[in-house]
Amino acid sequence: MIHTLGFGLPRLGPNLEYKRLLEGFWSGLLSQEKLLAGLQELEGLRATAYREAVDLHPTGELSLYDPMLDLAVALGLYAVPAGELEAYYALARGKGALPLRKWFGTNYHYLVPRLPEKPRYEPQPGWFPYPVGRDADSGEGLPTLIGPYTLVRLAQNPPTSPTELQAHLEALGEAYAELLKGASGRPVLLQEPALILDGAQEDLPHLLRPYRLLGAQFPLVLLTYYLPLRPQVAEALAGLPLRGLGLVYEPGAPWPKVSSGTALVLGVIEGLSVWRTDLLRLRKDLGPLVEAGREVWLAPKAPLYHLPWKVAELLPPELAGRLAFAEERLRELALLKGLLRGEAPEEAQAWYTPPPTWDQSLPPPPPPRPPREVRRQAQKDLGLPPFPTTTIGSFPQTKELRSLRKRLRSGDLDQAAYRQEIQEAIRKNIRLQEELGLDVLVHGEPERSDMVEFFAERLERFYTTQKGFVLSYGSRIWRPPILFAPPRRREPLVLWETLYAQSLTHKPVKAILTGPITLAAWSYLPERVSFREAVLALAEALREEVREVAAHGIRVVQVDEPALLEKLPLRAEDHPGYLALVGEAFLRVVGDLEPGVQVHQHLCYSDYAALRPFLEAMDPDVVSLEGARQDGRFLEALSGLPLELGPGAFDVHSPLEAPVEEMLARLQTYLRHLPAERLWINPDCGLKTRKSEEALANLRNMVQAAQRLRELWSSSQGGPHADGT
């Protein structure tokens, strides 16, 4: 028996309906009633898309912001009565909002809940099925929840002992049973991607009992994705009373023996890549399993929200007929089911085209940069004060700037007129920063639609879609470009904007580039090309740009790598190879620079203990990183590193103004864990998503906090120093 299961269809909708609804509500243009009605309509649209393509799909899948936050509220971790959306959204974007982290090596961000100190949960069934999507598909969908093991593994304060883990899992088993009372006998999709992580094998004794209890009460489908399970984990789970066990297909690997009532839910269709699936190869591999009479549910290897909704534009010859987004992935499941049943082989045979050969040889990397003390001495003539202030790079993207790019693409504005408008925006940004009193300036990136898409547009062998949007968090979206051959620098990437900005000021201006790890991580890479091959090819393209920028006299270069830990392999045995790749890629980009050029790096939302070896391998001069949503003690993980650090002085993902005293207190907390000579002051990320008045208020307060800190520090040091500081 063969069925198809689709899940994770993008909640953005085919025309960004989700984004418009959330932002309309946040801006006050939509009432709560209209927001919920609009989301209900979107859920119905999504259910129709599932219904037309696959046999089985979830219900209650459309989150109000983030499924992990929904789960935390449903379990009573935060006091948010059903229907109180202002209180709900305060946890996502208000003062004291929950931290953001990357979800299993992807660019989707989840909000990180905190578990209760004692394993007591107060489930609120009113939050499941969530108010959004309730009964949108007449009860035919499968209720779904993120599972208890994934919750405890990804929490801010995961259990630290086997006894504590067991207590939390047992209490959560009871809470989940309460939440799922309304499942009405339908199979329940319990999503447990954390079962693929290191440590799951050791945690099995504490996991099996809650699963067994839930499986005895509900037709439980345990869904895992992204990577195959460890054999011992798969075998242990196969012995549970489950309606279905989810496994990522691995060619040649044996299938676990499950009971006759348990379906094998096989992740066989890509959910992280955009290249069409070789369905004929899958038919050959899966045929014996089906012929043996096993019940099989064909499914994606990852939730489909990592893909755009649909291929909805004309493609260049290199890509025509080769791409599959979320809607096409559902079609692939139906085609594969037909193949396995001996139906419609002609369409399936024409579906897939083998990729071209990736043909590129790379030069050797440059030698390591001079020792840190040599670089510090060479950079003293930058003339920076104690606690230098800067920003990460982007300034607010206004409607006018977005309109400029739209007019340029449509042909209503020629390149010369567009560049003149961009110059005017840069001039305003430089003037504003000088008026505020910032020390290291940026041009503000008015020309950049996105920190990856912009570079893809200036590199050969990338394709940037017009409609291929993907959700990152909340309502924040981006369009992942598609790399289809070895990249090459077609034109200067950041040179002319940086030089123009530097011509307007005597203060140093940073040249800001997106690094090769992030360019590769946030793009769709060629089929059958390794992440390493793509990263090193991109590093060489950036290396050419950095050399030219420095040759024109720019003294500060920043390489942004917000995806650095996102791409840290999920399993420890793969970490050494990734660490070596990161070090080599960074060296290829900046290794040719003279010691007097100050190399900055920007990172986002990281586990800083895990980050430490990467900073040691890359050895930048200054690192700016997120800290505004964290306790300042996170810097203890970086204690002893000789780096200069800029933890966030304020949270750019909140629209609220942070007062001077609040920022000053945060900076003083940082100084308890960081020597004064190594502290930089900056926001925790770019200002692109903020309104101009929000950014201005916080930057003004940040500079005042820096001035106050300098005064306090100078007094504690006995007055001015010999250099006048």
Taken in order of first residue, the domains within the chain and their CATH numbers are: 2-351 (3.20.20.210), 374-449+495-715 (3.20.20.210)
Instruction: Please compute, for residue 450, the number of CA atoms within 13 A of its CA located in the half-sphere on the CB side.
Output: 20
Cα distances (angstroms) measured from residue 46 to each of 41, 42, 224, 334, 523: 9, 6, 22, 17, 25
Query: What was the pLDDT predicted at 138?
Result: 54
Cα distances (angstroms) measured from residue 299 to each of 128, 221, 332: 24, 13, 10
Instruction: Please compute, for residue 484, the number of CA atoms within 13 A of its CA located in the half-sphere on the CB side.
Output: 19
Query: What was the pLDDT predicted at 158?
Result: 96
Task: Tell me the sheet residues that pair with 191.
Answer: 146, 223
Q: First CA to last CA across the chain, in angstroms?
A: 77
Q: Are 97 and 61 in contact (CB under 8 A)?
A: no
Residues 260-290: tens digit of each pLDDT = 889 999 999 999 999 999 999 999 889 888 8
Cα distances (angstroms) measured from residue 441 to each of 426, 556, 635, 689: 11, 10, 25, 19
Residues 210-248: tens digit of each pLDDT = 999 999 999 999 999 999 999 999 999 999 999 999 999
Classified as helix, coil or strand, 171 is helix
Query: What was the pLDDT predicted at 605?
Result: 60
Catalytic residues: 653
CA 249 to CA 238: how far, in whole Å?
Answer: 15
Lookup result for tokens 């099989």: 296
pTM: 0.89
CA 123 to CA 144: how far, in whole Å?
Answer: 16
CA 197 to CA 158: how far, in whole Å?
Answer: 14
Q: Is the pLDDT of residue 725 over 50?
A: no
CA 498 to CA 323: how far, in whole Å?
Answer: 36
Classified as helix, coil or strand, 269 is strand
Q: Is the pLDDT of residue 594 over 50?
A: yes
Residues 454-495: tens digit of each pLDDT = 999 999 999 999 899 999 999 999 999 999 999 999 899 999
Residues 134-167: tens digit of each pLDDT = 554 556 789 999 999 999 999 999 999 999 999 9
More confident residue, 126 or 539: 539
Rounded to the nearest 10°, the torsion over CA 305, 307, 310, 316 is: 170
